[in-house]
Structure 1
Amino acid sequence: MNNRLRALTAAALALCISGVGAQVTAPVVAAPYYSAEQAMQGLYTHHLPPLASAFQGEADRLVESTRQFCQGQAPLAALRTQWKRTLVNWETLSTPAVGPLVARRSQRQIDFWPTRPDLLRRSLDKAPATLADMDRVGTPAKGFPALEVLMNQWSASRQPAPAAACHYAELVSQGIAAEAHALQNEFGTWASKAWSDEPEVTTASLAEWVNQWLAGLERLRWAHIEKPITSHQTTGKAATGAPVPFARLDRESALRDWRAQWQSLLAQGRLPPGAQPPAAGSALVPMEALLMGRGQLALAQKWGQALDEVTADMDKLTPRSSERELLALTKSMKAVTVLFQNEVAAALDVPLGFSDADGD
């Protein structure tokens, strides 16, 4: 009996044993065995290039929206709407951060937070004139967070945006678009990689994806949600009535941001409801399908249920959700992390050890 048949037999037996005395709620679905080459082809050929192209398009529109606002041709609300659209596309592409996103340290370049108001003021005082001048501006005064701070300042003042600050905002949006174009070009190159020609690179890329998926989940769970709440409570700022210092300055934007990150992680982790595992080499292969293809049917079902718990908790949230409700969400996320660390990574035959260190 070969290893593939042994795995399928063992998984089927385990599923039968676990189902004794219980009602079976989901059918066992066969899946092809996916090689590392096919997994990477699904990710880099079929999944990420369209996301990179969509982000580039929205980033170009952000540049135009900023220009129109600064010339008095569009209201601030229009600029904010485009900022939100571009940010969602950025989070969808960059969660988890893999390949060119890590190599280029893109997160640091255009989404470093928290923004440092003092550095932003000093950068405005230096009055950079060109995009090249922005190379000398610190990353905490650039990117999506800096543009959000400026928009909030203009909204609060109810006065026309100062010309110098508006020009700075145009340079910030141009910087975001420049990074978007660079990423789109690099993902285009990765889309044509011959993964079978470089087995060591392919194995390393698969390991990076698996590890960075976990890092992306932990970044969402801890850095974006739990840590700001915990710090807010332990420093005594909660008693003063100050808002929790999430990455985005208002709860609506924060929730939209978290949902974009989770949907991207979910797309790479779980098959869509009712979908069959894709044919090898034809589409993105989520980790659930990888597990099924390796005969880990019971674990694949357990994994899908854990992800569904997070989705259900995320769907319950509103911009007015309490810290208690947000921490309940992070608890279900932590359960996914533990399952990933204890069972999923080993079943995928990938050692854990990468980090999400892309420059932050």
Structure 2
Amino acid sequence: MAVKVLVVDDSGFFRRRVSEILSADPNIQVVGTATNGREAIDQALVLKPDVITMDYEMPMMDGITAVRNIMQRCPTPVLMFSSLTHEGARVTLDALDAGAVDYLPKNFEDISRNPDKVKALLCEKVHTIARSNRRYSAYNPPAPATVSSTASTVARSTAAPTARPASSAGSTGGAAPKRKAYKLVAIGTSTGGPVALQRVLTQLPANFPTPLVLIQHMPAAFTKAFAERLDKLCRISVKEAEDGDVLRPGLALLAPGGKQMMIDARGAVRILPGDERLNYKPCVDITFGSASKSFNDKVLAVVLTGMGADGREGARLLKQSGSQVWAQDEASCVIYGMPMAVVKANLADAVYGLEDIGRHLVEACV
């Protein structure tokens, strides 16, 4: 059965172009279009699409407000189109918090210069998020990231994170994690990762004793804004990693988009140019692999929601060194691709629901 798509954009050119690209796929059917957020809500209620593509900046009602309303009234996977700017990153992260599943750059030059690549990527994204777990009967997004610097300071020291009820289906039966003096917690993720990381990291106390590195598949223009957002919401500190940054307790270093992050034996990160031969920049496998070489059995790695299998080979190297590997369970993933690859390869020491992972990290790290 074809995936039914609603295309939402105030630009007539972009609506037509996206509709043409999607309609060329025999397994996708464009069932309608809308020119603003209000129309999008009305069309979603009537047409009941499997996927909605959504622009942000529109008259009458913007895309983020529309996403929030759609998630409340008829939860539907939404693919946002975003500009590759710092402001575009901030808006996209707001949209993901509101309930959107994934995003694509809204780049007219790419459409003209690499039409085949754009077509393939757009159709792949639509098919993937159509199979996602984002059709909640009552979607409950995380708390919005609009906190002041003063509120952020208070949150670091006193606030308890807001959490949904734990989703532990498929977990290791609530088994306690293995306690150890880990030298590093490494977390890798992709589609659904920005919200998943927010849920995990907001559960960690300011005095969390183990350094962290985060590898999120994300464009170069987005990672600085994402790190800033996490830093405001979390009691630990979060920053975009720079070459030479030193690992330390209570600090999470986010791999910069478009580059690779490696860990050396002295506890410093090395930021390397992104290799065009690699699909992912940053790549979870590369960071996990370097951590296994530097810290042997003293790494706790976590693979969260995401498309593909990035992280599996890095997890294999970590297991060979004696380190621990956890995977997010299927029920709480937006896309059960990366964790599934680890689980199917028998590399996961534990499988936990998303709401349990932060608590277990605190229990495991002594």
TM over 0.5: no
Relative to its length, the structure with more helix (as a share) is 1
TM-score, length basis structure 2: 0.25
The higher-RCO structure (CA 8 Å, 6+ apart) is 1
Relative to its length, the structure with more strand (as a share) is 2
Bigger Rg over Cα = 1
TM-score, length basis structure 1: 0.25
